[in-house]
């Protein structure tokens, strides 16, 4: 079975995680996909299981005589982003795509070359898109499908290999995919997350990340007698945002540039709240960004009175670069396997995070590989059948290289 065939099935199983939930996993629907994956892995002859936290584990034992080969793992996540509708996904398939604009189903949305300049490079392929009303789920059901297709290929071919561990995680999209990852049960020396963009991406640098919440206490009084008395929490929220450095939002930045991203705001005259995510590849600049937030809190309380503004900063993940560099064979083998497919690898910093960022700090060095997908987390998400095939070939090439070590 080809990877896209599995993928088309997986995306119809709704698995959005829920960033407002305190349960593990954050949404029970993730078990729906987990159970399907366990059944598929068992049908391949693997001893697979899903635990009570919704982590799917399976191990393909080493071929006889290859037990001493490096134990390699592959990881992908089952949940989809809660930021856009992930329920009722109806993928649309365009064979022999012409590289031009594509109307998305009956919606008023379209994939356009103006917005997505890479589209002409996909001409001649089979393109999979949304119908414009949901996300697609290539992030990261494409990675799941590619890993299982790799396992099937290895099992059916009888090709020798070392031990291969796989895990499919819940809740990556809400930052907790590694919270309950059982490294001992996973039993690998090194791993790759398959959770990136275009095929051929190889990533071992990611943002340092935190979430920052400003809680603002106002003072409400009748506006007719509010002179020098009312404190409008909503206006203070606007003031706080204006105090952040200009030109440092996601729209204004790329590459190694960090940012402050206002994710949500709510409130009334009496109370308001701002929630940001803060990102930077540089440890030093990341700490400076957090200090900037603290200075804003202090200045607002100086102006408007103590306890008017409360800042809470929650660390999310760190740049995995320092954990990957001592294991650079992970990158060299991924680059070689990519070039073997006739593709020049694209080594780039992740402008986000993966489960692998945290796992690398938990003792499992874990860079990230592309899935073949584009424009994640929204209705413009798309992927190609051929791109997914190439990713399976790249994973296969990595396995061969570690079997030969």
Q: State the alpha helices, DSSP H only, in 189-231.
A: none
- Is residue 41 within 8 A of residue 74, CB to CB? The reply is no
- 79 catalytic per annotation: yes
What stretches of 56-199 adopt beta strand conformation (E)? 56-60, 72-77, 92-94, 102-103, 110-111, 127-129, 164-169, 190-196
What are 134's two structure tokens? 């949901």
- Is residue 367 within 8 A of residue 331, CB to CB? The reply is yes
Q: Which of 139, 140, 171, 172 is catalytic?
A: 172
Beta bridge partners of 273: 215, 266
- 159 catalytic per annotation: no
List, in order, residues 6 or more apart from 200 with CB less than 8 Å away. Answer: 338, 341, 343, 344, 345, 346, 370, 390, 394
What is the torsional sign of CA 339, 380, 135, 375? Answer: positive
Beta bridge partners of 277: 211, 261
Q: Is 99 left (phi over 0), alpha (psi -120 to 50) or beta?
A: left
315 burial via Cβ count (<10 Å: 0-12, 13-18, 19+):
exposed
Q: Which of 18, 40, 79, 297 is catalytic?
A: 79
Backbone phi, then psi, for 36, in 5-degree steps? -60, -45
- Strand 309-317 versus strand 92-94 pairing type: unpaired
Write out the catalytic residue numbers: 79, 172
């Amino acid at each position: 079975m080809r990877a896209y065939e599995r993928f088309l099935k997986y995306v119809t199983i709704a698995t959005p995680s829920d960033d407002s939930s305190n349960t593990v996993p954050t949404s029970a629907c993730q078990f729906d996909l987990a159970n399907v994956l366990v059944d598929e892995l068992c049908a391949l002859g693997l001893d697979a299981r899903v635990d009570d936290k919704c982590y799917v584990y399976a191990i393909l034992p080493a071929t006889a005589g290859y037990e001493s080969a490096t134990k390699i793992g592959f990881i992908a996540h089952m949940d989809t982003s809660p930021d856009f509708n992930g329920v009722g996904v109806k993928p649309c398939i365009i064979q022999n795509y012409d590289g031009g604009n594509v109307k998305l189903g009956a919606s008023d949305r379209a994939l356009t070359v103006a917005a997505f300049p890479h589209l002409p490079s996909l001409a001649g392929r089979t393109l999979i898109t949304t119908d414009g009303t949901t996300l697609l789920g290539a992030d990261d059901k494409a990675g799941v499908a590619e890993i299982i297709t790799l396992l099937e290929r290895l099992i059916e071919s009888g090709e020798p290999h070392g031990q291969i561990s796989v895990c499919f995680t819940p809740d990556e999209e809400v930052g907790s995919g590694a919270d309950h990852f059982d490294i001992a049960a996973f039993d690998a020396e090194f791993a790759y997350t398959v959770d990136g963009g275009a095929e051929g991406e190889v990533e071992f640098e990611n943002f340092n990340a935190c979430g920052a919440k400003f809680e603002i206490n106002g003072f409400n009084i009748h506006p007719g007698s509010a002179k020098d008395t009312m404190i409008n929490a909503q206006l203070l929220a606007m003031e706080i945002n204006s105090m952040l450095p200009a030109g440092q939002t996601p729209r204004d930045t790329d590459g190694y540039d960090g940012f402050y991203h206002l994710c949500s705001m709510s409130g009334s005259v009496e109370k308001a709240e701002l929630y940001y995510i803060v990102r930077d590849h540089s440890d030093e600049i990341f700490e400076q960004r957090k200090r900037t937030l603290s200075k804003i809190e202090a200045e607002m309380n100086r102006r408007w009175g103590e306890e008017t503004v409360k800042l809470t900063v929650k660390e999310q993940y760190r740049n995995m670069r320092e954990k990957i560099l001592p294991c650079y064979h992970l990158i060299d083998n991924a680059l070689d396997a990519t070039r073997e497919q006739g593709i020049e690898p694209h080594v780039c910093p992740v402008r986000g995070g993966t489960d692998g960022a945290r796992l690398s700090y938990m003792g499992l060095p874990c860079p990230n590989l592309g899935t073949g997908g584009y424009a994640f987390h929204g209705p413009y998400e798309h992927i190609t059948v051929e791109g997914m095939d190439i990713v399976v070939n790249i994973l296969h090439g990595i396995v061969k290289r570690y079997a030969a070590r």
